[in-house]
A and B are shown apart, each in its own frame.
Chain A
Amino acid sequence: MKKLTKMVSVVCMTCLLGTLAAGCSSSENGNTSSSANPAAKPVTYTMFFNYGIPEFPDNGGEAKAKIIAQMEKAGVQGVDYKISMISGDEYKTKLNLLISSGEIPDYFNVDSTQLAMYVDQGLLRPLDDLLAKAPNLMKFIPKERFEGVTFDGKIYAIPQGVRTESFNSPNTAGLLVRQDWLDNLGLKQPTTLDELHTVLKGFTHDDPDKNGQDDTYGLGGNKATVFNTVFGAYGIGLMSGSIFWTEKEGKIVKSFVTPEAKQALAVLQQWYKEGLIDPEFPVMEPKQGDARIINSKVGVFEGDAFGVNAIGGGYYTSLLKVLPTAKITMINRITGPDGKKGWPEVNPYSGGALRAISVDAKDPERLIQMLDWSVSDDANGGVNLLTYGEENVDYTFDETKNLITQKTSYSDLYAKGFSNPVRFVQVTDRRWTDNTVRAALEIASSEIVKNEWWKTVPAELDYPDLEKKLWTEYFVKIVTGVWPVDRFDEFVQNYYQQGGQKIEQQANEEWQKSKN
């Protein structure tokens, strides 16, 4: 009985000690971080990023000393960093908590809604004067991308950059084909819609995988697929994120009300009727769509240029494990009956992951100096070290081919403290791609159909169902032949009646203004 009472008191004591110890350790942390760097007036920047990288060590790992040393060589003195990360929606929750409790990090990720909110609350530092002193950031970040982060004429966040090589274009999508199937059937890569039709027929009916069974489809897809190839062949970009605006007789209209869209739908319906399109595409998740590719059920599909990378770890890698003779290539844009071709562009204004600087950040000049150094290509610049680790240890760089070969896996790089977490400003850098991928990227960045108007007009927010519900229903039902192609006219009518009129009017007003 005495034992029990004793135990209770021990438990209570442990609790008390625990709290005490906890209190001590947190204050200790504060001390060490500010006294870590011997240089004059060292600053530790706290950073908070939206990433899920469990391997990255809390203290920055062995990489930190190297990074700081190189920074000092380049003239950025006395800078230290402490990075914490959480991924997804939880990032927002935690960021809001930190802000409301006054623990706002110095440098952190924001999305566009948060950005607008924080700017409103005066939590972010305007960056124009700082960016003027950051030549490398200005060099790598495309001008358009600053538009989305400008409020009342001032820039409040740093968008992602793009390196200058052409293979870094954000447009990476195209049409992928099973080259080994083409070879099996003695067909050549299709260049026109008619040739593509022939190929699809061959892939569907002529047993391209030589397994003696009629178990393949020509064209694969999933519920996110809009068959951009076919719409592109009729000269319109259908969508990338949102439905595109196409110029028609001096004004802009949504692509999906144009007669070209109807023609494209007719082609798709025809193909679907002939059994060339995977009939389950409208109900498949992207992952299930990938499973069809891996199981050699489809021969032509939309994908991005990295899809041709055999060791990329994506569906191609898996496909090769199932069938070592498989070969996926990206083919040139398909030409339509009027000689048109193309692929919808990726939003040039979207800056990817945005990062902002707190209004309370100490010595922001030094922070921006550090960020500028982090993307710099100069002799002591940070980009290679931060992105790929140490030269000849973690990667080799072939200057003539402009090719970076990585030796250390990403998870080991993270564990050392390199790569994504310390890429303080993200700059698209595809110097690691080999010639196959670069060739595919070359195709994917050519023949791009522009969207005439990227901004959302107020009426679009009032009628959000037009693109997501109305169009999707007509698209799926017409392609799968449930409804005849002529009901497309009814769609156009419905669209205009249910708010499209207003959207078009507002968009045109702004579009005209921007042209003058």
Chain B
Amino acid sequence: MIRKSWGERTFEAGNMLLLALLSLVTLYPLWHEISISLSSAAGAMRGGLFLFPRGFTLDAYKSVLSSSFIWLAYRNSIFVAVVGTVLHVLFTATTAYALNKRGLPGVKAMTLLLIFTMVFSGGMIPTYLLVKSLGLTNTLWALIFPGMISAFNVIVMQSFMRTIPEEVEESAMMDGANPLRIFFTIIMPLCKPVIATIALWECVGLWNNFMQALIYLNDKKLFTLPLLLKEIIAGQQLATDSGQFTTFAAESAIAATVIVSIVPILAVYPFLQKYFMKGTMLGSVKS
């Protein structure tokens, strides 16, 4: 092992300290929320620095989880996130694959049209009118279909696919595979890292999607988690403002809802993390 100089070691120690501090700073808000969600009303309202829950109680969670709407919202959010991600990845991949074929007629025009959507969007009201006339308002599909292909993700996918040698495809063709089969059995498995990356982006995006849910959904049974979260927070504020009695503070209920709604997406991260690094880096350097 090479001995490090004194300077290097102080630098590393300083670096560690700085990074440790940074991660503490980012971790604390989450910890704060967790502590508040487990605190009693009096504890939560006392404010200040929270290191541990004050007056430990699970009341806030009991109340949040006993609402029938949270489970409905969970179901809706999971449906949107899972179906939306699967469709998004599938269609992004097929688009990218096709647009990479230079021989395809009209491929330039298609690419231009695609990139056009990156620069210009319809704006909220025209998009709403479109979705409405498609009969999608007040369905969960309104959250899935309009954003099913994103130009940016197609480009990321395209640049990744270009790194796959054409000979791979050619040899498959020789063995008698049709294009569909080549796509699903050769290209898709090779694209796993980039698929995981895009899936993660999309999944998080769909999970947190508030604006579209707000605009397109009217029925309460279709509410997704972010929308319900917002309503619960507003409801708690209404309760405090009008002096209604609760055993746990509004703060605790809000914090508990926040925790409940971020846990699933937090749980997905570690599994996709390893692909994530690979996926974003790959395709960035070309030989």
Contact = CB atoms under 8 A, between A and B. Distances in A.
Interface of A: 1, 4-5, 8, 11, 15, 18-19, 22-23, 25-26, 29, 51-58, 84-88, 90, 93-94, 97, 100-101, 287-288, 290-291, 294-295, 306, 309, 311-315, 317-319, 321-322, 409-411, 420
A52 B233 contact: yes
A22 B220 contact: no
A222 to B, nearest CB: 12
B145 to A, nearest CB: 8
B257 to A, nearest CB: 10
Given A8-B90, A54-B228, A321 B42 contact: yes
A26 B133 CA distance: 12
B139 A90 contact: no
Contacts of A55: 67, 69, 235
Contact of A19 (B125, B136, B138): B136
B90 A318 contact: no
15 contacts: A5-B184, A15-B87, A15-B141, A19-B145, A52-B237, A52-B238, A87-B238, A290-B45, A306-B243, A311-B245, A312-B243, A313-B240, A317-B41, A321-B40, A322-B42
Contact of A101 (B48, B86, B128): B128
B232 interface: yes
B22 interface: no
A36 to B, nearest CB: 16
Contacts of B135: 19, 22-23, 26
Contacts of B233: 52
Interface string B188-222: 00000000000000000000000000110011110
B231 interface: yes
A8 B188 CA distance: 13
B45 A52 contact: no
Nearest to A319: B42
Given A5-B180, A86-B214, A314-B243, A101 B47 contact: no
Contact of B47 (A53, A287, A411): A287
A410 B239 contact: yes
Contacts of B246: 313, 409
B109 interface: no
Contacts of B245: 311-313, 317, 409
B22 to A, nearest CB: 26
A58 B231 contact: no
B274 interface: no
B222 to A, nearest CB: 9
A402 B215 CA distance: 44
Contact of A318 (B42, B185, B242): B42
Given A52-B231, A54-B231, A318-B42, 6 more contacts: A8-B184, A55-B69, A56-B220, A87-B231, A291-B47, A312-B245
Contacts of A312: 243-245
B244 to A, nearest CB: 5
B132 interface: yes
B46 interface: yes
B106 to A, nearest CB: 23
Contact of A294 (B46, B129, B221): B46
Nearest to B235: A52
A100 B130 CA distance: 13
A295 B45 CA distance: 9
Interface of B: 40-42, 45-48, 55, 67, 69, 86-87, 90, 124-125, 128-129, 132, 134-139, 141, 145, 180-181, 184-185, 214-215, 218-221, 223, 228, 230-235, 237-240, 242-246, 249
B221 to A, nearest CB: 6
B120 to A, nearest CB: 20
Nearest to B131: A101
A47 B67 CA distance: 24
Contacts of A4: 184-185
Contact of A87 (B136, B215, B230, B249): B230
**Main SS of chain B's interface residues?**
helix
A9 to B, nearest CB: 11
A1 B184 contact: yes
A348 B242 CA distance: 20
B68 to A, nearest CB: 9
Nearest to A314: B243
A409 B232 CA distance: 16
Contacts of A87: 230-231, 234-235, 238
A53 B235 contact: yes
B244 A313 contact: yes
A306 B243 CA distance: 7
A22 B125 contact: no
Q: Which 9 A-B pairs have the closest CB atoms?
A: A52-B234, A291-B47, A321-B42, A87-B234, A22-B139, A312-B243, A54-B231, A23-B135, A318-B42
Contact of B232 (A19, A52, A311, A319): A52
Nearest to A320: B42
B138 to A, nearest CB: 5
A319 B125 CA distance: 49
A313 B243 contact: yes
B46 A318 contact: yes
A411 B232 CA distance: 11
A54 B232 CA distance: 6
B181 A97 contact: no
B41 A318 contact: yes
Nearest to A15: B87
B237 A26 contact: no
A313 B249 CA distance: 8
B185 A1 contact: yes
Nearest to A100: B125
B66 to A, nearest CB: 10
B281 to A, nearest CB: 28
Nearest to A315: B45
Nearest to A304: B243
Nearest to B233: A52
A291 B242 CA distance: 19
Given A11-B90, A26-B137, A313-B245, A90 B230 contact: yes
A26 B138 contact: yes
Given A54-B228, A101-B125, A294 B42 contact: yes
A503 B45 CA distance: 42
A68 B230 CA distance: 31
Contacts of B180: 5
A11 B86 contact: yes
A29 B55 CA distance: 47
A85 B214 CA distance: 11
B129 A101 contact: yes
A172 to B, nearest CB: 10
B45 A291 contact: yes
A84 B220 CA distance: 8
Contacts of A409: 244-246
A85 B232 CA distance: 12
Contacts of B132: 101
Given A54-B231, A313-B240, A321 B41 contact: yes
A32 to B, nearest CB: 13
